[in-house]
Chain A
Amino acid sequence: QVQLVQSGAEEKKPGASVKVSCKASGYTFIDYYIHWVRQAPGQGLEWMGRINSNSGGRDYVQKFHGRITMTRDTSISTAYMELSSLRYDDTAVYYCARETNTWLDYWGQGTLVTVSS
């Protein structure tokens, strides 16, 4: 069965960086894009961008340009999202999700990133 398993919760100080992993299983990793979506406490869903798991090509939301890097390691079927220069309002649950055609059909369990001094 398709599974996306994310790395554990992180607590970071303002200005630091965080790298969240998303390990895929149950399907051919390079055949699907991986998207990243975040959700601040009590808020809605915010799309951050996606990576082509085959080519490595990326699309980022403009507001994160310069701070976000999405990568993948095809040898271990894992996608990564790194966010730098963390601010208090980056505190959120970060989700990875698989794209099938244009919809997000499988999601990771989420990774809580807390930015606190």
Chain B
Amino acid sequence: DIQMTQSPSPLSASVGDRVTINCRASQTISTSLNWYQQKPGKAPKLLIYAASSLQSGVPSRFGGSGSGTDFALTISSLQPEDFATYYCQHSYSHPLSFGGGTKVEVK
């Protein structure tokens, strides 16, 4: 089974900061990597699919990069509504799995 490891956690940041969250797969997964945002009491929301494609309706300040085993989610200028927990998830093979999550909190 493929294990997903996220860092850092938590991540302390301020509004306007450029923020990067990292995700590493235990084996190569090509670009089969997706990112989700979750706010307390809510369902996860798809932000990025296939490593770097922006889901419709998601602000362009969100970006994804990487391939193979190392991936990153970048928020170019953190907004107040971006304080949340972010999860990576591989879709390379079954079973699917998620990273442990990165909580972006106020510095």
Contacts and interface: CB of A to CB of B under 8 A. Distances in A.
Given A45-B38, A101-B49, 15 more contacts: A35-B96, A37-B98, A45-B44, A46-B98, A47-B97, A47-B98, A95-B43, A102-B32, A102-B34, A103-B46, A103-B89, A104-B34, A104-B44, A104-B46, A110-B43
Chain A interface helix/strand/loop/mixed: strand
Interface in B50-107: 50, 55, 87, 89, 91, 94-101
Contacts of A97: 43-44
- Chain B interface size band reads 20 to 34
A98 to B, nearest CB: 10
Interface string B8-32: 0000000000000000000000001
How many A residues are at the interface, by size bracket? 20 to 34
A109 B43 contact: yes
Contacts of A104: 34, 36, 44, 46, 89
A46 B3 CA distance: 12
Contacts of A37: 44, 98
B45 interface: yes
A105 B46 contact: yes
A105 B91 CA distance: 13
Given A44-B101, A46-B98, A47-B95, A95 B32 contact: no
A44 B85 CA distance: 10
A9 interface: no
A16 interface: no
Interface in A66-117: 95, 97, 101-105, 107-110
7 contacts: A44-B87, A44-B101, A45-B101, A61-B95, A103-B34, A104-B46, A108-B43
A44 B99 contact: yes
A37 B36 CA distance: 13
